C-alpha cells in the first residue's frame, strides 16, 4: 500500500482482515454479488446466482491454485476477490483476470484498497505474471481503484455489453506482476489449464 494512505483506508486496515475464502463464506458472497448484478456497474446477470454455482467455481479455482479471498469486518464478509484464467489455452497460463466485489453497505471505505493488493500478492506468489480486469466504462470507482494499484488501460471494447436496454463499453486494464514478461516463467504448481 502506498505512503499516501487516506484516514479511511488506515482505519479500514485496522478493522478489516483479508484471508482465503472458505465454503462457509459462500452465502455472504452470493448476497454481495446478487446486490451488484441487479443494480450495479459490474457484471450483469438476469439469473440469480446460486450458492452451488459459487461453491463449484471456488473449488475449481482452488484446484488450479487461483486465489479466492474475502475481506472480513467484525466477523462478517464485506467483500471478496478472485482470479480466473485469462484464457484457457496453455500459452496463456501465466495470465489471470480477476473480479472484486465490496458489500454495498461498505463501499468506498477502503476495502477494495485492501482486497486488490492482497489479490495481486497472492497471484504473484502463485507464479502468475499478468493480471487483467474488464471494467465497465462507466465504473469510475473500479477504474480508479485499479489505477491506484498499477493497472493501466490497454483497450476499449466498444458496445461489447447490453444491459438495462443499453449497449455498454468495457475497458481492459492490465498490470504486470512479479517479473512480468522480463524473465522466463517458473512452471506453475499445476500444469493443466482446462
Ligand atoms: C469497485 C469497488 C470494488 C471498489 O471498492 P471500494 O471498497 O468501494 O473502494 P475503496 O474504498 O477501497 O477505494 C479505493 C479507490 O477507489 C476509488 N473509488 C472507490 N469508490 C469510488 C467512488 N464511489 N467514486 C469514485 N472513486 C471511487 C477511489 O480512487 C478510491 O481511493 P480514495 O478512497 O483514495 O479516493 C466497489 O465499488 C464495488 O464493489 N463496486 C461494485 C462491483 C464492481 O463494480 N466491481 C468491479 C467490477 S470490475
Residue boundaries of the structural domains of the chain: 7-176
Q: Which residues contact 60 (CB under 8 A, 6 or more apart)?
A: none
Cα Rg, the chain, nearest whole Å: 16
For residue 82, how far is its CA from the centre of ligand 1 (angstroms)?
16
> CA-to-CA distance for 67 and 193, rounded, in angstroms?
15
What DSSP letter does each residue of 6-52 carry, written as one string? -HHHHHHHHHEEEEE--GGGHHHHHHHHHHHHHHSSS---SSPPPHH
Measured from the Cβ of residue 186, the count of other Cβ atoms closer than 10 Å reads: 11
Closest atom of ligand 1 to 109 CA is 11
For residue 25, how far is its CA from the centre of ligand 1 (angstroms)?
22
Residue owning the nearest CA to atom 18 of ligand 1: 141
Predicted model pTM: 0.90
pLDDT at residue 82, rounded to an integer = 96
Class of domain 7-176: alpha beta
The residue to mutate among 35, 112, 132, having the most atoms of ligand 1 within 8 angstroms of its beta carbon, is 112
Instruction: Tell which residue, 40, 45, 37, 128, has the closest CA to residue 82.
Output: 128
Side-by-side strand order, sheet with 152-163: 16-20, 68-73, 76-85, 95-102, 130-136, 166-176, 152-163
Instruction: Tell which residue, 123, 125, 56, 118, has the closest CA to residue 96.
Output: 123
What DSSP letter does each residue of 60-116 carry, written as one string? HHHHTT--EEEEEETTEEEEEEEEEES-SSGGGTTEEEEEEEE-GGGTTSSHHHHHH
pLDDT at residue 3, rounded to an integer = 38
* Cell matching residue 64: 488450479
For residue 108, how far is its CA from the centre of ligand 1 (angstroms)?
5
Tens digit of each residue's pLDDT, the chain (194 residues): 433 456 655 567 789 999 999 999 999 999 999 888 876 555 666 666 788 888 888 888 888 889 999 999 999 999 999 999 999 999 999 999 999 999 999 999 999 999 999 999 999 999 999 999 999 999 999 999 999 999 999 999 999 999 888 999 999 999 999 999 999 998 887 644 44
For residue 53, how far is its CA from the centre of ligand 1 (angstroms)?
25
Amino acid at each position: 500500500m502506498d505512503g499516501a494512505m487516506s484516514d479511511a483506508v488506515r482505519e479500514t486496515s485496522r478493522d478489516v482482515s483479508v484471508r482465503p475464502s472458505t465454503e462457509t463464506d459462500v452465502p455472504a458472497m452470493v448476497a454481495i454479488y446478487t446486490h451488484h448484478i441487479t443494480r450495479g456497474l459490474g457484471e450483469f446477470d438476469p439469473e440469480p446466482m446460486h450458492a452451488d454455482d459459487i461453491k463449484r467455481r471456488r473449488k475449481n479455482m482452488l484446484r488450479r491454485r487461483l486465489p479466492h479471498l474475502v475481506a472480513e469486518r467484525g466477523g462478517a464478509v464485506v467483500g471478496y476477490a478472485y482470479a480466473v484464467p485469462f484464457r484457457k489455452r496453455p500459452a496463456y497460463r501465466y495470465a489471470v483476470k480477476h473480479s472484486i466485489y465490496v458489500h454495498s453497505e461498505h463501499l468506498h471505505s477502503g476495502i477494495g484498497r485492501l482486497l486488490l493488493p492482497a489479490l495481486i500478492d497472492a497471484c504473484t506468489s502463485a507464479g502468475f505474471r499478468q493480471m487483467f480486469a474488464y471494467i465497465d466504462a462507466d465504473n469510475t470507482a473500479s477504474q480508479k481503484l485499479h489505477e491506484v494499484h498499477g493497472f493501466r488501460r490497454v483497450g476499449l471494447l466498444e458496445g461489447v455489453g447490453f444491459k438495462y436496454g443499453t449497449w455498454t463499453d468495457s475497458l481492459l486494464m492490465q498490470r504486470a506482476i512479479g517479473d512480468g514478461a522480463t524473465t522466463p516463467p517458473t512452471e506453475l504448481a499445476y500444469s493443466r489449464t482446462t
